[in-house]
Each structure stands twice: as C-alpha cells, then as structure tokens.
C-alpha cells in the first residue's frame, strides 16, 4: 500500500528524524489539520510522490522551527538550507505551492532540466559542477553512484548537477562549454559571479578524478 502522505509529525523528535531522513523534505506547519490551507498542502503532496511530505500542528514544533502557522518549508540537506513559503496570503494556491517546492528541491546531485533550472540559478551556491553525460548509457548508474559519492565530499561548497546530453533542452548547455557529443562524458565547473569555468573530458567518472578537478579549480 502507499504510505500515508503527508506524515503527521507530533513532536520535535519526529520532525528532526523526518528531515534528516531525506535529501529534500517538505513540512507544512498548520494550526488546524483540517484548514483549507492544509487541504491544499495535501493536494500538492499527492502530486509530488518522490518528495516526502510531513505535516505538523504542534505548537512546540512550530516554535522550534521559528515558523508561523500556515507555512510550507522545504528542508535541503545539500546546503543545510531551508526555504519558507507563507500561506497566509490568500492567493497561494496548489500551483504556487508546487512551483515553490520544485524551485527549491536541490539535492546532492540535481538533475538539470527546465523544471529545476530556476532553483539551480537561484541557489546560494557560487560554484556549479556539471556532469554532462548520456543517461541512456549502460554505464550511467555506476557513473552516478561515483558522482554522488564525490558530491558528499563537497556538500555545502559546490552544487553538483547532472546534465543529460539526450535532452534537447540541454543542447545549449553542452555548446556553452564548447563540447561536442563525441567528447562526453565531461565535467564542467562554473563560478557563477565571474563566469570563470573549466572543462575536463573523461574516459570514466571516478571519485578521485572529480575531487582532483574540483580542488584544482578551487585553488
């Protein structure tokens, strides 16, 4: 059966365990579990199956997170950051809540596509590392496994991004770094404030290779 969504969080320990158990977690803080805002929140929870949703009406939990009632918060492990959306505003509908979550659900490795692009651009990270690769490749799962392991080492410092070279919408990104499909997979690092960049074409993705490339650029 499907897990109950959103999960009811009755106390601070529940909430902390819920947040630490996921790369991205969303909690709705409400005074009344049956309020119109809470039912809009439930509707959104059903639309985004891959993100865990929690709901709390506990005054202790609300005050622990410093939120007012009717707030939707996205907690991110990648930069230990959180984003709050105030729902007391009458025009916050399900569409706005969905967009807010989509824009802020950065992960250890965020896949770049038209949906996540805004969140990537608005993130607090000044350094973006892109793995530009073919997701259809039989080597993809293993590459991702290593790339994610490397991402753990730079958590909070560099935003790790996956760019699927098969997506039509990503062609501009590939050509921005002056790469051709024949040169992939490749790593590209980008310093947002001054647009400084470096590119490395790879035979294979390894944790050490990614680490060296990032450290060289950081120096």
Architecture of domain 109-218: 3-Layer(aba) Sandwich (3.40)
Shortest CA distance to 210 belongs to which of 137, 149, 134? Answer: 149
Sheet containing 81-86, strands listed edge to edge, beginning at the edge strand earlier in sequence:
7-8, 53-56, 24-29, 71-76, 81-86
- Kind of pairing between the strands at 7-8 and 24-29: unpaired
Domain residue extents for the chain: 7-104, 109-218
pTM for this prediction: 0.83
Which among 179, 189, 204, 199 is positioned nearest to 151, based on CA atoms? 189
CATH of the domain spanning 7-104? 3.40.30.10
**What CA–CA distance (Å, rounded) separates 14 from 31?**
17
The tens digit of pLDDT for each residue in 47-89 reads 998 899 999 999 999 999 999 999 999 999 888 889 999 998 7
- Beta carbons of 165 and 181 less than 8 angstroms apart: yes
DSSP at 62: H
φ, ψ for residue 164, nearest 5 deg: -80, 115
Specify whether the backbone of 201 is left (phi greater than 0), alpha (psi in -120 to 50) or beta: beta
On the question of a common fold for 7-104 and 109-218, the answer reads: yes
Per-residue pLDDT of 116-146, as tens digits, reads: 888 888 888 999 999 999 999 999 999 999 9
């Amino acid at each position: 059966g499907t897990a109950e969504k959103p999960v009811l969080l009755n106390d601070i320990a529940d909430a902390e365990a819920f947040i630490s158990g996921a790369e991205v977690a969303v909690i709705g803080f409400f005074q009344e579990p049956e309020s119109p805002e809470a039912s809009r929140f439930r509707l959104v929870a059903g639309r985004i199956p891959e993100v865990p949703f929690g709901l709390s009406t506990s005054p202790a939990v609300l005050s622990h997170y410093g939120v007012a009632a009717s707030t939707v918060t996205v907690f991110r492990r990648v930069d230990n950051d959180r984003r709050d959306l105030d729902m007391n505003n009458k025009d916050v509908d399900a569409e706005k809540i969905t967009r807010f979550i989509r824009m802020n659900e950065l992960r250890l490795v965020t896949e770049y596509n038209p949906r996540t692009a805004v969140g990537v651009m608005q993130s607090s990270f000044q350094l973006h590392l892109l793995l530009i690769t073919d997701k259809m490749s039989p080597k993809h799962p293993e590459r991702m496994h290593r790339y994610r392991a490397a991402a753990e080492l730079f958590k909070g410092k560099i935003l790790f991004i996956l760019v699927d070279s098969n997506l039509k919408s990503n062609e501009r990104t590939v050509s921005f770094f002056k790469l051709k499909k024949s040169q992939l997979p490749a790593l590209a690092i980008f310093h947002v404030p001054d647009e400084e960049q470096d590119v490395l074409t790879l035979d294979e993705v390894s944790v050490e290779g990614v680490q060296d490339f990032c450290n060289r650029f950081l120096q």
